Amino acid sequence: MNENNSENRMKSKERLQKDISIHKLREDDFFSMTTLEEADPQYFQQSHRHDFYEIIWFTEVENTAKQLLDFNEYTINNQEVYLLTPNQIHKMSPEKKKGYALAFAKEFFHSVIGKAHEFSYASSYYKAIVPLEKQLTFKQLFQMIEYEYNNKKRRTLLKYYYGALLIHLEELLAIENYKKPEPEATGKILYLIEQHFKEEKAIGFYSQQMTLSPWRLNSLLKKSTGKTLKQHLIQRTVLEAKRLLLAEDILIKELAYSLGYLDVPYFVNIFKQFTGLSPNQFRIVHMDQHN
């Protein structure tokens, strides 16, 4: 079956698909907070993306509790905490779950943690179990944040509270695919990749920004992460392609162009190498999961 026929068939299926919305904070808000018990189910149970960071602490859940993150289903455990990063596709039902959800505007989050910190440049998610000895500390921090949120919303005070929370999270959380602590220079490179992977594919851009030779830049990345700059760029591009395939009614040609590839067959080949599927095949396989 040729690509045009596949696209036409996909168009027919997409008419039955609900759009994956993008959740945003209001322009005058730098954060938001809710308990899972009081949350609007519609906010979580439809597949969605968001343009902010989100911390979800599940204090109590049923044994069968699950959620979808990007393209995988995960069982949720009691006292599990997640840090979700912008643009991830997320879906869950808040029913029969207790806990908190905190949303941070990107600028506010970066002002607390710094842009070179791995929390800021990661495109995946973090998760951990809050151990018994930490649960009281987490509860107190969330209660202080909740009190300030429901009253004066003082930005400076909340910045200190969130900073303290992120320090405790940093001790617990482990990100997938990043098992070694990166030096500061590597963190800055990965942050640059997150900001420019769509339009900048050449190592020369990143070496110039870092004032490092291409060899030195690749050496730092390889030592810290096990991947070269090119491998990071392709991995991040494929992840973004997966998200856009489910979130938007977009032709494969448009998708390739939006991600910086003018050679569409080359882009499709890269996608197949990483996923084992063509972009349209991937969309068909995963579409029902997020409806």
Would you list the domain boundaries of the chain?
A: 19-175, 184-290
How far apart (Å, rounded) are the C-alpha atoms in residues 228 and 146?
42
Banded model confidence at residue 9, pLDDT cuts 50, 70, 90: very low
> Among 236, 237, 258, 238, which Cα is nearest to 248's?
258
User: What is the rounded distance in angstroms from the CA atom of residue 286 to the CA atom of residue 284?
Assistant: 6
- pLDDT reported for residue 13: 43
Convert the pLDDT of each residue in 152-185 to its tens digit. 999 999 999 999 999 998 888 765 444 445 577 8
Position 40 pLDDT exceeds 60: yes
- We find that the CATH architecture of domain 19-175 is Sandwich (2.60)
* Beta-strand relationship, 90-92 and 174-175: unpaired
pLDDT digit string, tens, across residues 16-37 = 344 678 888 887 789 999 999 9
pLDDT band at 114 (very low <50, low <70, confident <90, very high): confident
- Kindly report which listed range (19-23, 146-150, 271-275) carries the lowest average pLDDT score: 19-23
Displacement of CA 16 from its chain's centroid (Å): 26
Rounded mean pLDDT of 141-155? 94
For 91, the 3-state DSSP assignment is: strand
User: Does domain 184-290 bear CATH number 3.40.50.2300?
Assistant: no
Go through 156-167 and write b for each residue having 16 or more CB atoms within 10 A of its CB, e for each that does not.
eebeebbebbbe
β-strand partners of 67: 74, 92
Q: H helices within the chain, ranges in order?
A: 3-14, 41-45, 106-113, 118-121, 132-149, 155-172, 184-196, 203-210, 214-225, 229-247, 252-258, 264-275, 279-287
Poorest-pLDDT segment among 169-178, 226-235, 238-247: 169-178
Give the confidence band of 288 by pLDDT, cuts at 50, 70, 90.
low
